[in-house]
Chain A
């Protein structure tokens, strides 16, 4: 499974949350947030995860940096520099620290994720101070100044505080913070969702420029781009996985996923994209698509639901869909769909 061209390979990842914890818990209320997710991120690639809120895309990202520990599955990180394979779920201590420097997580809202009481310099270097690769202050300062200039701010901004910057600039600082340790993967969790349209483009282009620049200098960087805005995801990503209730329903090239003819893509993807397409002002969503996302719950630690996750909203259901969950099968090279009917 571990391909030389992949940085991260995720196999059958599962995570359930225990809804009740503590002294008075009556055991047996679980939410299955991620149910057997498998995908891989290639070198120098942008992989997009899209889906509605509660589909498990953020949880998946947090599992990757071990903010939560997965219940099942495997995460293999292949260091593009050394070519070493790391089993992410098993590492701890200094190895975990090193891994987290290589796979960085950038938060959605920079107003919340940057400590308002620190200067930009402190924010950028706070992690590097405890890094596996310790550098003296003077080196750190030079690095921080370089990285700030790379993201389009100036070295003078090091002494200012995050609150003095506008939303877009703060997101730049947030990205700079992610880049300081020269990571191989940057996990961008809704990084442009909180920004105004006019700023969003700046950040997207910045990320693209950074990737090109890093590729040219031999430090390849991949992105895991999580978004709910399909237009942005389709513009920015190379490949996209569509998630629904903790499972990947469809995976394809970004260029391809939006333009499929009806009947060739997963019904959920169809629903998502038909909700976004404006055009005929009198077009109505088919009533069969009514309803909203429900979380996957169970009384036991095992998922009790059988059948396809989308079965309660799908207009094309058959008997088989209720009984058995389809596998993610390849319909075309690089295009996988989880549906009995496609």
Chain B
């Protein structure tokens, strides 16, 4: 709850809504105190206009006299004012029906000259008092009705979704049947069946139940769908295996999981309930005299257009209704954004326009800002590099509560890639291997800041506009991703997918030309019957074939550099081998340069010429694959090699070396070498500062102060 308020501070509209709602509910609770009169107290002034004025630096009620009794025109009397008394004595009443009370928030000091803040109705009753009292029924009906309907929806939706089968069909079909009938007709129909002679209490209850009855089906269908998918989640399956009773699983496992959605749906449902009550009362089927609700106020008073023109203050209940409905909607919006962390909104950065003193503070983790310019860049022996990355840093701005946190995902990376070379980058999750390579074609989310330099054939890529970047993306730099199935539009045939790609660089290419070229490419990457297969959709290809198509697509515009981000992780070993062979072939036939990213050391060493190990946003070691596998220098690289089992190792003969501790959290980096807390040879010195990347002979690089000694 506290976190929600912290979050709400960043959403001014949501905050304002919450305040409005709190004020309205205070008004509702203390209605007898806030309203100057009882709702049924009538004065002999029909359609009296609002008479509160600010005169002589205090609020006073001005006297009005009837000019025309037919049209109920009033004229203000020039100098006749009655001062308004705050906390004065008014009519005797009972707060909440049982505490006797005489004081009112404000009353006129002359009982003969009433104060009409928002005018009076045809019977001369104070509209403001009636609105305040009417809010009791209107605002409570929304809450009670939505609570009942949510309960029914959760129960029935939960049962239907969790058990499925016949029960599901019965519940959901009947819910759909109710949804099928237009809501208002259904409400009117049920209401008309109940008859008219009811006490106010009965009326209130019956309307609440009608509203709840007509509202549950939508919720039940929604929750049923969600629970239907949640019941397949592992944690529910696990609970089922433990033979926990089904109702406990539904209400302790499934429902809490969708609680955020239920809260939002419920909050957004309250105003619609109140609105429906208003409609009913307006039609004379809802709350009736002598009880008051906002709906019945509108019913009673706005009978003709001429009434509205002459007595516009009769509309006052509407303003309350609108404020109430809007506030709940805005609050619901803020709640949804708060509860759904994946929902990102681009908001105006007000910070920029504020003077420095008032700007929000950005909390930056600078404990280990690394000056990467002193690092030796990891280079190969080639003459002219295709890609040169220098001192690349990527930071993400994250909103945590009300403060912005800066997360350094990449903390200074320098390397180069030669033409026709395959460079492997290995690292565990969170090591920054993907982020640093996605930065090359600037494929990072908006909250990322890239600094440093990325030179492609000598041209700087950092800081290019999106339009300039398009000259490189796809055309010079291709990319393939981890899950090939997700990189395609499922509604496009391969022919169309290729056509779209070709048109990017050659807008005038015909479909026939593109098909021909695509077929040739597909053959090159090893897809049989390439021509016939062009009319197929992505789902008609297997995972391995899709990855081949992905490679073909990235070659379609003739790229020189291919960034392969875990391209085989989702594939089986036998297919992985085929893809690796294909990439090696392409390097030979096309002279392609490849950056190959994976967490699998053996795989990377198999495909690449040189490899780099990353940990916690820093490069730890760079060497040729052979050197690396036989004689790693950095303790992390050594430990990593020792920790992955090899063929021939068996637990009975060779126990597995273990790296203690956990992978460091890149959001809160240690001041020194990121591996120091887990390293067996680390000393105080290691924990103080980040070691510099050092170049050794034979094109080897390492970032360790101990490495040189050994």
Which residues of chain B (20-69) have a CB below 8 Å from chain A?
none
Nearest Cβ distance between residue B410 and chain A, in whole angstroms?
18
Nearest Cβ distance between residue A172 and chain B, in whole angstroms?
11
Q: What mask results when residues 221 to 254 of chain B are scored 1 for a CB within 8 Å of chain A, else 0?
A: 0000000000001110111111111000000010
CB pair A293 B572 closer than 8 Å? yes
CB pair A198 B639 closer than 8 Å? yes
The residues of B that contact A293 with a CB separation of less than 8 Å are 572
Closest to A234 in B: B647
Closest to A105 in B: B241
Stretch at the interface among B92-100, B345-353, B478-486, B658-666: B658-666
Which residues of chain A (148-199) have a CB below 8 Å from chain B?
166-169, 196-199
Bound CA span A126–B245, Å:
11
The residues of B that contact A255 with a CB separation of less than 8 Å are 650, 652
Q: What mask results when residues 649 to 671 of chain B are scored 1 for a CB within 8 Å of chain A, else 0?
A: 11110011111101100000000
Name the residue among B239, B542, B581, B662 with the largest chain A CB count within 10 angstroms. Answer: B662
| Given A117-B256, A168-B662, A196-B663; A277-B647 close (CB under 8 Å) | yes
Nearest Cβ distance between residue B675 and chain A, in whole angstroms?
10
Q: Which of B244, B575, B581 contacts A292 (CB 8 A)?
A: B575
Name the residue among A113, A167, A289 with the largest chain B CB count within 10 angstroms. Answer: A113
| Given A196-B428, A276-B573; A201-B656 close (CB under 8 Å) | yes
**CB of B698 closer than 8 Å to a CB of A:** no
**CB of A134 closer than 8 Å to a CB of B:** no
Q: What mask results when residues 41 to 72 of chain A are scored 1 for a CB within 8 Å of chain B, else 0?
A: 00000000000110000000000010100000
CB pair B235 A114 closer than 8 Å? yes
Q: Which of A201, A272, A282 contacts B573 (CB 8 A)?
A: A272
Closest to A285 in B: B577
CB pair A113 B428 closer than 8 Å? no
CB pair A100 B605 closer than 8 Å? no
Q: Which of A96, A116, A202, A285 contacts B578 (CB 8 A)?
A: A285
The residues of B that contact A277 with a CB separation of less than 8 Å are 647
CB pair A272 B648 closer than 8 Å? no
Closest to A125 in B: B242
CB pair A254 B650 closer than 8 Å? yes
The residues of B that contact A196 with a CB separation of less than 8 Å are 428-429, 599, 663
Q: Which of B543, B640, B647, B678 contacts A197 (CB 8 A)?
A: B640
**CB of A208 closer than 8 Å to a CB of B:** yes
The residues of A that contact B656 with a CB separation of less than 8 Å are 201, 204-205, 235
Q: Which of B239, B576, B584, B640 contacts A126 (CB 8 A)?
A: B239
Q: What mask results when residues 534 to 548 of chain B are scored 1 for a CB within 8 Å of chain A, else 0?
A: 000000001111000
Stretch at the interface among A81-89, A225-233, A325-333: A225-233
Bound CA span A331–B232, Å:
42
Total chain B interface residues with beta-carbon distance under 8 A: 58
Nearest Cβ distance between residue B12 and chain A, in whole angstroms?
30
The residues of B that contact A96 with a CB separation of less than 8 Å are 243
Closest to B662 in A: A166
Name the residue among A130, A228, A235 with the largest chain B CB count within 10 angstroms. Answer: A235
CB pair A205 B655 closer than 8 Å? yes
**CB of B606 closer than 8 Å to a CB of A:** yes
CB pair B644 A231 closer than 8 Å? yes
| Given A115-B239, A198-B428, A254-B650; A126-B233 close (CB under 8 Å) | no
Closest to A22 in B: B169
Q: Which of A107, A205, A232 contacts B238 (CB 8 A)?
A: A107
Bound CA span A236–B658, Å:
14
Bound CA span A107–B239, Å:
12
Nearest Cβ distance between residue B510 and chain A, in whole angstroms?
33
CB pair B658 A202 closer than 8 Å? yes
CB pair A197 B663 closer than 8 Å? no
Bound CA span A96–B243, Å:
9
Which residues of chain B (304-351) have a CB below 8 Å from chain A?
none
Nearest Cβ distance between residue A337 and chain B, in whole angstroms?
19
Nearest Cβ distance between residue A239 and chain B, in whole angstroms?
12
**CB of A26 closer than 8 Å to a CB of B:** no
**CB of A146 closer than 8 Å to a CB of B:** no
**CB of A284 closer than 8 Å to a CB of B:** yes
Bound CA span A108–B237, Å:
12
Name the residue among B650, B651, B655, B659 with the largest chain A CB count within 10 angstroms. Answer: B651
CB pair A285 B581 closer than 8 Å? yes
Nearest Cβ distance between residue A274 and chain B, in whole angstroms?
8
**CB of B357 closer than 8 Å to a CB of A:** no
Bound CA span A168–B663, Å:
9
| Given A169-B662, A199-B663, A202-B658; A67-B237 close (CB under 8 Å) | yes
Nearest Cβ distance between residue A91 and chain B, in whole angstroms?
12
Nearest Cβ distance between residue B631 and chain A, in whole angstroms?
17
The residues of A that contact B649 with a CB separation of less than 8 Å are 234-235
Which residues of chain A (113-159) have a CB below 8 Å from chain B?
113-117, 126-127, 129-130
Which residues of chain B (492-539) have a CB below 8 Å from chain A?
526
CB pair B233 A112 closer than 8 Å? yes
CB pair B655 A278 closer than 8 Å? no
Bound CA span A236–B654, Å:
11
**CB of A258 closer than 8 Å to a CB of B:** yes
The residues of B that contact A18 with a CB separation of less than 8 Å are none
Closest to A235 in B: B645
Which residues of chain A (230-264) have a CB below 8 Å from chain B?
230-232, 234-236, 254-255, 258-259
Closest to A23 in B: B169
Which residues of chain A (284-329) have a CB below 8 Å from chain B?
284-285, 289-290, 292-293
Bound CA span A126–B253, Å:
11
CB pair A127 B242 closer than 8 Å? yes
CB pair B605 A130 closer than 8 Å? no
CB pair B581 A271 closer than 8 Å? no
CB pair A200 B572 closer than 8 Å? no
Bound CA span A208–B238, Å:
23
The residues of A that contact B601 with a CB separation of less than 8 Å are 197
CB pair B606 A281 closer than 8 Å? yes
The residues of B that contact A109 with a CB separation of less than 8 Å are 234
CB pair A197 B599 closer than 8 Å? yes
**CB of A214 closer than 8 Å to a CB of B:** no
Nearest Cβ distance between residue A312 and chain B, in whole angstroms?
13
Q: What mask results when residues 669 to 681 of chain B are scored 1 for a CB within 8 Å of chain A, else 0?
A: 0000000001000
The residues of A that contact B235 with a CB separation of less than 8 Å are 112-116
CB pair A130 B572 closer than 8 Å? no
Name the residue among B544, B572, B663 with the largest chain A CB count within 10 angstroms. Answer: B572
Nearest Cβ distance between residue B162 and chain A, in whole angstroms?
15
The residues of A that contact B658 with a CB separation of less than 8 Å are 201-202, 205
The residues of A that contact B605 with a CB separation of less than 8 Å are 278
**CB of A335 closer than 8 Å to a CB of B:** no
The residues of A that contact B577 with a CB separation of less than 8 Å are 274-275, 285
CB pair B244 A130 closer than 8 Å? yes
Nearest Cβ distance between residue A280 and chain B, in whole angstroms?
10
| Given A100-B243, A198-B659, A284-B581; A292-B646 close (CB under 8 Å) | no
**CB of A97 closer than 8 Å to a CB of B:** yes
The residues of B that contact A168 with a CB separation of less than 8 Å are 662
CB pair A201 B243 closer than 8 Å? no
Name the residue among B235, B240, B606, B639 with the largest chain A CB count within 10 angstroms. Answer: B235
CB pair A115 B253 closer than 8 Å? yes
Which residues of chain A (89-105) have a CB below 8 Å from chain B?
96-97, 100, 104-105
**CB of B79 closer than 8 Å to a CB of A:** no
| Given A278-B606, A292-B575; A200-B643 close (CB under 8 Å) | yes
The residues of A that contact B381 with a CB separation of less than 8 Å are none
Interface residues of B (CB under 8 A from A): 233-235, 237-245, 253, 256-257, 428-429, 526, 542-545, 572-578, 581, 584, 599, 601-603, 605-606, 639-640, 643-652, 655-660, 662-663, 678
Apart from A53-B572, A107-B238, A258-B648: 14 A-B pairs, beta carbons within 8 A: A105-B238, A115-B253, A117-B256, A197-B599, A197-B643, A201-B656, A205-B655, A232-B645, A254-B650, A259-B648, A275-B574, A281-B606, A285-B581, A292-B542
Nearest 10 CB-CB pairs, A to B?
A: A127-B242, A235-B645, A113-B234, A52-B572, A275-B577, A278-B606, A196-B428, A198-B659, A112-B234, A201-B643
